[in-house]
Structure 1
Amino acid sequence: MSSLPTATTAAFVRIDGRPVHVRREGRGPVCVLSGGLGSSWFDWDPVLPLLAPYRTVVRFDRPGYGLSAPSPTAPTLAGEAERIRRVLDALGLPGPCTVVGHSLAGFYVEAFARLYPDRTAGLVLVDGSTEPAPRPRPAPALRDRAARTVAASATALGVPYLLGPTARRLTARVTTVRRKDLAPDALVRRCYRTGRVLGAMLRENGRYLDLAADLAEVRRAAPLPDVPALVLAADRGRGSRHTRHWLARQSDLAATLGAEFRTAAPSGHLLMYDRPDAVAAAVLDAG
């Protein structure tokens, strides 16, 4: 990757007493990049050189991911939307920004746009999660306790240390058409050998339908601000039934939001690796 003629800041900011890993790079209008389930800040690295000359790019790790400390509480939709706001406040960036969410983080950035319209300049969902008629699951506290117990037991047995990086690599390979994880080996080992990443993934995945149901409530209560919105969907280019079904759901999501709909082919779910050019173009156009 070529060096960037822009300022770069890596730091930890405290939110509710817990350190959150944050990166600020580039110059110009602000955009926030939020990764999907199990992602770390470096998953946006291929996109960064295409954005940083034109945008102030903010990346951060949600609790337990990347280099951020785990949270004592389970993730909530409003809590993660507020976390974006508090990260921006901690960096001294109070103005409107373009919020970009990949996969599950699409829930969070859409909620941010609806709950903080004055702070939103644009919205981009990158192969965002979508649930047309979600219903919350029962016993959320019990499910969260079970997720933490499983993660703690696996960590005590050394499962993340032994298998975490391999699982990360395999997941990246099956979710890209290039069949390759572009993340640096040292960073993958540093982050995915830890039990906190496993715990964060289990807790967030366990709350998936609850988050989707909460978003449906927010949609009914708070309209999107009148800003550019774009849905970018991954298309493996095979014309398979699964691909057609997924693209139809992404198109429906765009229609629900009144957003522009684009596809990027060929690409897998980890669009930042397969088509960083399409991701960067969507962010710049929506901003």
Structure 2
Amino acid sequence: MRDFQRWIARLRLCSRRHLGRPVGITHACVRALRHWKSPVTFRTGIPLGAVSSRVTMTTDKSLLGWGATLMGRSVNGLWPPQLTHKHINYLVLMAVWLVLKHFLGFIKSQHVLVKTDNTTVVAYINRQGGTRSLQLHQLAERLIVWADTRLLSLRATRVPGILNRGADLLSRGNPLYGEWRLHPQVVSQIWQRCVQAAVDLFASQENAQCPLYFSLTDGNAPLNVLLYAFPPLSLISPTLARVREQGLSLILIAPHWPSKPWVAEIIQLLAGQPWPLPLRRDLLSQAGGEMYHPHPDKIALSAWPMRGGI
């Protein structure tokens, strides 16, 4: 009915002064009501009763692109040149549609809830369009028509940007390898096999596994304690060199890739039996668990207990 409302709004009628004013039916009015002239509209019907559960996805956008998460899965992309000049509300709504298309295999014939920090987009989705922006209304109308034949329902709700961390991170680019966090249950299993480490190297406040941790920019390594490190691939060899030179004790989390030269270095420093980490979908996560690594099996991580100066 939003097209009809827009047609009425353009007449600038006053509810008090124009109650008896005749209004001519124009072609624009007929076009606005075309949806309600179709028998299919009345045969389709709507589900009765309250919705017990919805598939929830979060979306966000930046000046560079868009991103989203759905049940641990993630997707992102860059804006094409023809969209970079569009209004921010248009970009957010376009991001929602792109994400729905990408995840259609997981959400088809489902009740879907979209979480975004944009209140205007929330309103245009829930109200199936609007009267303020014609361009945004037309995009919302296309989205609703597309979703009508693919989803049971589509709703949106606002989530504060500070809580939309996964989608926000994706909208600014791809996840960083050094920020992946092992699942706490897997870390507990590592501690049971190798003794609990005291300090986490190459960590941040978000992905640290020990009460004490050192960031990537800290050049001072602590001595005489068992260390834990899950370094970026490019820093594995420098880490091994430091373990060897300073006689450090370390639990290293690294891929078991026999073709890599640092695997031979790891074997030389081993102080115990390496343990292949169990495969699980949530083995590696970012953004507080909102986003999972898409292929943990290809990384083939192991826990390598090692000691330098042997």
Question: TM-score under structure 2 normalisation?
Answer: 0.22
Higher relative contact order (CA 8 A, sep 6+): 1
Structure with greater helix share of residues: 1
Question: TM-score under structure 1 normalisation?
Answer: 0.24
Q: Which has the larger radius of gyration?
A: 2
